Amino acid sequence: MNLIIVESPTKARTLSRFLDKDYSVEATMGHIKDLPKSKLGVDIEKDFEPDYLLIEKRKKEIQKIKSASKKANLIFLASDPDREGEAIAAHVKEEIGNGKTRRIVFHEISKEAVFEAIKNPRDINSDLVNAQIARRVLDRLVGYKLSPLLWKKVRRGLSAGRVQSVAVRLIVEREREIENFTPEEYWEIAAELAKSGDKKTFIASLTKIKDKKAEVKNKNEADDIVKDLSGADYKVEDVSTREIRNNPYPPFTTSTMTQSASRLFGWSSKKTMSVAQKLYEEGLITYHRTDSTNLSRSAVQKARSLIQKEFGAKYLPQKERVYKTKSKSAQEAHEAIRVVDPFLKEPETKGRFANDSLKLYKLIWKRFLACQMSEALYDRKTIIVSAFSKYTLKASGQTMKFDGWTTLYASIKDSSESVIYLPEVKKGEILDFIKIHKEQRFTQPPPRFNEASLIKTLEQLGIGRPSTYAPTISTILFRNYVEKDEGKFVPTAIGTAVNDFLVKNFPEVFDYGFTAEMEENLDKIAEGNSQWKITIKKFWDPFANKLEVIEQKAERVKIETEKLGKKCPECKTGELVIRTGRFGKFISCSRFPDCKYTEKYEQKLKMKCPECKKGEVVIKKTKKGRKFFGCSRYPDCTWASWTDPRKK
The pLDDT of residue 417:
45
DSSP 554: P
The pLDDT of residue 178:
96
Q: How far is CA 283 from CA 89, 254, 255, 344, in A?
A: 20, 17, 21, 12
Total domains in the fold of the chain: 5
Residue 512 has pLDDT above 50, yes or no: yes
CATH assignment of the domain containing 110: 3.40.50.140
* Residue bearing the bigger pLDDT, 622 or 143: 143
Concatenated DSSP letters for 289-333? --------HHHHHHHHHHHHHHH-GGGS-SS--------TT--TT
Residue 506 has pLDDT above 50, yes or no: yes
**546 and 479 both lie in a single domain:** yes
**78 and 91 both lie in a single domain:** yes
Q: Which residues are CB-neighbours of 617 under 8 A, at least 6 positions away?
A: 604, 605, 607, 608, 609, 610, 629, 630, 631, 632, 645
Q: Which residues are CB-neighbours of 415 under 8 A, at least 6 positions away?
A: none
How far apart CA 267 and CA 273 sit, in angstroms, is: 10
The rounded percent of the chain whose pLDDT value lies above 90 is 77
**478 and 541 both lie in a single domain:** yes
Q: Check: CB of residue 248 under 8 Å from CB of residue 409.
A: yes
Identify the bridge partners of residue 382 per DSSP, sorted by sequence position. 240, 396
Any alpha helices (H) in 210-295, and if so which ranges? 219-230, 254-265, 269-281
* Residue 192 pLDDT level (bands cut at 50, 70, 90): very high
**312 and 216 both lie in a single domain:** no
Residue 330 has pLDDT above 50, yes or no: no
**219 and 323 both lie in a single domain:** no
**264 and 359 both lie in a single domain:** yes
How far apart CA 167 and CA 601 sit, in angstroms, is: 26
**388 and 242 both lie in a single domain:** yes
Residue that terminates a domain, selected from 83, 102, 124: 124
The pLDDT of residue 414:
45
Three-state SS for 219? Answer: helix
Q: Check: CB of residue 41 under 8 Å from CB of residue 55.
A: no
CATH assignment of the domain containing 218: 2.70.20.10
Three-state SS for 163? Answer: helix
How far apart CA 259 and CA 253 sit, in angstroms, is: 10
Range of the domain at 583: 562-647
**519 and 588 both lie in a single domain:** no
Residue 87 has pLDDT above 70, yes or no: yes
* Residue 354 pLDDT level (bands cut at 50, 70, 90): confident
CB atoms within 10 A of CB 307: 22
Q: Which residues are CB-neighbours of 59 under 8 A, at least 6 positions away?
A: none
Q: How far is CA 486 from CA 33, 426, 618, 647, in A?
A: 39, 49, 14, 10
**73 and 150 both lie in a single domain:** no
The pLDDT of residue 155:
86
Q: What are the pLDDT digits (tens) for 193-206?
A: 999 989 899 999 99
| β-strand pairing of 101-103 with 75-77 | parallel
Q: What is the mean pLDDT of the chain?
A: 91
Mean predicted confidence (pLDDT) in 455-462: 94
How far apart CA 646 and CA 620 sit, in angstroms, is: 15
Q: What are the pLDDT digits (tens) for 380-404?
A: 999 999 999 899 999 999 888 999 9
The pLDDT of residue 606:
80
Three-state SS for 245? Answer: strand
Residue that terminates a domain, selected from 514, 534, 553: 553
How far apart CA 146 and CA 644 sit, in angstroms, is: 38
Task: End-to-end CA distance of the chain: give it in Å, rounded.
Answer: 58
Identify the bridge partners of residue 620 per DSSP, sorted by sequence position. 628
* Residue 332 pLDDT level (bands cut at 50, 70, 90): very low
**103 and 68 both lie in a single domain:** yes
Selected catalytic residue, list 23, 52, 280, 287: 287
Return the closest-CA partner of residue 368 out of 333, 321, 404. Answer: 321
CATH assignment of the domain containing 492: 1.10.460.10
CATH assignment of the domain containing 339: 1.10.290.10
CB atoms within 10 A of CB 192: 14
The pLDDT of residue 540:
96
The pLDDT of residue 27:
96
The pLDDT of residue 413:
43
Q: Which residues are CB-neighbours of 540 under 8 A, at least 6 positions away?
A: 44, 48, 141
Mean predicted confidence (pLDDT) in 25-46: 95
Does the annotation mark 287 as catalytic? Answer: yes
* Residue 579 pLDDT level (bands cut at 50, 70, 90): confident
* Residue 415 pLDDT level (bands cut at 50, 70, 90): very low
**347 and 261 both lie in a single domain:** yes
Q: Which long-range contacts (CB under 8 A, 24 or more apart) does 31-35 make?
A: 31/55, 31/58, 31/84, 31/87, 31/88, 31/91, 32/58, 32/61, 32/62, 32/88, 32/91, 32/92, 32/95, 33/91, 33/94, 34/136, 35/136, 35/140
**319 and 219 both lie in a single domain:** no
How far apart CA 507 and CA 172 sit, in angstroms, is: 15
The pLDDT of residue 648:
58
Q: What are the pLDDT digits (tens) for 276-321?
A: 999 999 999 999 999 999 999 999 999 999 999 999 999 999 999 9
CA 539 vs. chain centroid, Å, equals: 28
How far apart CA 493 and CA 68 sit, in angstroms, is: 53
Which runs of E-coded beta strand occur in 403-510? Answer: 430-442, 482-485, 488-491
Q: What are the pLDDT digits (tens) for 229-266?
A: 998 999 999 999 999 999 999 999 999 999 999 999 99
Residue that terminates a domain, selected from 501, 519, 553: 553
The pLDDT of residue 586:
84
- 526: phi then psi, degrees, rounded to nearest 5: -65, -30
Mean predicted confidence (pLDDT) in 570-594: 83
Q: Check: CB of residue 402 under 8 Å from CB of residue 363.
A: no
